[in-house]
Amino acid sequence: MNRVSRAVLVALVAVGWIPAAIAGAEQGIRDHTTAMLKDAEEMVAHGGMGDAKAIVHHCGEVSRHAEAILKALVPADPRAKAAASHLQEAIRYCQRVAEMGDKVDPGASLNPATKARTAARDAAKHLATVKAGGA
């Protein structure tokens, strides 16, 4: 978030136009989404280099960020439901990677890792339109 948009957000919260909890939740969703996508890309990049340990690590981080986003979403929002299904799919694929562990051939764990990245990307597309707190 750049300085201008952060200043605008702070000003809107200060005058009461946006409740602080909602503004903070939206910022948290954006931060976790950015971090999740970064970890997803690094996960697949390390897979291409044959580093199974890094695949498992980054997949764990993708799951952690996805779970944090799920907690911040409002279940009644249909856009949030679409994002939630992709987040749950990313978590499911990352669980498969974790079950395989870092001792397997990186090519074996790269397939579910790539599917987790795709699910994370799809979730990010839906999260761009989701407002936290039902606003």
Nearest Cα to Cα of residue 97 among 86, 108, 85, 84: 108
pLDDT in tens, 57-109: 999 999 999 999 999 888 777 888 889 999 999 999 999 999 999 888 888 89
Question: Is residue 58 within 8 Å of residue 16, measured between CB atoms?
Answer: no
* Residue with token string 């579910």: 112
> 25-134: what fold?
Four Helix Bundle (Hemerythrin (Met), subunit A) (1.20.120)
| pTM assigned to the model | 0.76
Domain spans in the chain, listed from the N-terminal domain onward: 25-134
Half-sphere exposure of 56 toward its Cβ, with a 13 Å CA cutoff? 13
Least confident window among 7-11, 33-37, 67-71: 7-11
